[in-house]
Amino acid sequence: MYCQLTNPGENKMETKAQNYTPEQTKIIVDQYKQGIPVEQIAEQLGKSTRSIVAKLSREGVYVAKSKQTQPRVKKSELVERIAVAVGVPSELFESLEKANLEVLEQLANKLGA
């Protein structure tokens, strides 16, 4: 659907395409409120996920997914756990703190620390 944005006697403006009809907007909002994933709505309407999210945001109904992250373990804590698992004072393993975090995590997991 196109909407003509010109007035006789004034500077002509570009003709602008309407991305979503009122019917499409209602479908998008209703389906989103029903819990249908944004990706599925986008596929059904032949639109991109970003476009659907943007439209839902403009309509005031989109709620961003919260990222669930676990607190990051400090290297010093991992070294302490490793030292306890091996049965030695943690001061002997201080230099391990310079190791890669992923390596320390794997070592701690293998030792059951």
Q: Could you tell me the residue range of the domain that residue 16 belongs to?
A: 2-58
Query: Does 95 lie in the same domain as 48?
Result: no
What was the pLDDT predicted at 9?
A: 52
Number of domains present in the structure of the chain = 2
Q: What is the pTM of this model?
A: 0.47
Measured CA to CA, the distance from residue 99 to residue 45 in angstroms comes to 50
Query: Does 49 lie in the same domain as 85?
Result: no
In a domain, 67, yes or no: no
In a domain, 47, yes or no: yes
Domain CATH number, residue 31:
1.10.10
**Could you report the per-residue pLDDT of 75-109, keeping only the tens digit for each?**
899 999 999 999 988 888 888 888 888 888 898 88
